[in-house]
Amino acid sequence: MKVMNLVQAINDALDIKLKEDTEIVVYGEDVGVEGGVFRVTEALQVKHGADRVFDSPLAESGIAGTALGMAISGMKPIIEMQFDGFSYPAFNQIFSHISRFRNRTRGKFTVPMVIRIPYGGGINALEHHSESPEAYFGHTPGLKVVIPSTPYDAKGLLISAIEDPDPVIFMEPKRIYRAIKQEVPEEAYRIPLGRAKVLQQGEQITVIAYGAMIREVQKAIALLKSEGYSVELIDLRSIWPLDRETITKSVHKTGRALVVTEAPQSYGPAAELISIINEEAFLSLEAPPSRLTGFDTVIPLPLGEKHYMISPERIAAEIDRLIRY
């Protein structure tokens, strides 16, 4: 075991797969020589060569489109959109072609590729650098969408994503890139896509979150320690496919549910999760399911960002309200 942060765990997964499979290439803006703006791919070009880890032009649509061509020709590209908001110019390739190619060719061609996207706010960045666009991708048939919250999960989920025969959007919560360290196995291991994880067992309320919001929920639970509440915390890990079984089993037990996401509220992941709870656990509910989300606005620039982000105090207050309902 080795102690790693999220950046190091992702780098390690890429390194392992580049060694194992010569069909894999890694590329994107500044990914090669510099190792990416967050240094996630640092030293991989030195280890594996400039023909397998390289820089691309500043053209996200071109990055995605060339990766599609490689994937249907037998290669396994792993591409990086430098920031969440930079993925929008690639929407045409992702939604019109990458997500549809298996269906379009009746299964003759699959698209084994991974699109890595650093996402989310909390880093005092400029426009297009702090967004949470997971709902767009989760809403699109043909895509899988994965978001880790720990270094251990990041490595295991990324290896599974690389080995998946279909396109996977791998979203990395940049706010916690270096905020968490834990022991991670040095060898390869896999975490199945579409499986949530119960981080903490509880009896009075189910809280569902993912990515950087997991840490905020854990802080909120610590704030409520003196109240003696029994909170079950679920890390969703995959936005699509969703682990409906783990969610509904938990809400059947606790009777209350709170979903915490950084994405804007309307038509977002929290709305989908609450629909599932209403469809499959309605008769077990002791309070209306609730959500804490981002606002339906463009995420503010640094001076206003603190008013947008969900604080542990807000989460604690909502847990308290639901338990007392």
Q: Which one of 128, 129, 139, 252 is the catalytic residue? A: 129
User: Which uninterrupted H or E stretch holds 262?
Assistant: strand 257-264
CA-CA distance, 101 to 70, in Å (whole number)?
A: 13
- Give the list of residues 6+ apart from residue 269 with CB closer than 8 angstroms, or none: 134, 135, 138, 239, 259, 261, 263
**Residues 6 or more apart from 226 whose CB is under 8 A from it?**
none
Q: Is 129 a catalytic residue?
A: yes
Residue the block writes with tokens 């994965």: 146
Structural contact between residues 198 and 250, judged by C-beta atoms closer than 8 angstroms: yes
Cα 154 to the chain's mean position, in Å? Answer: 9
Closest listed residue to residue 69, CA positions, set 108, 112, 36, 127: 112
Tokens of 264: 């804007």
**Residues 312, 300: Cα–Cα separation, whole Å:** 19
* Cα distance between residue 136 and residue 94, in whole Å: 11
Q: Where are the alpha helices (DSSP H) in 143-239?
A: 151-163, 213-223
Single-letter amino acid code for the residue at 25: V
145: nearest Cα among 88, 194, 101, 211: 194
* One-letter amino acid of 130: S
The residues annotated as belonging to the active site are 129
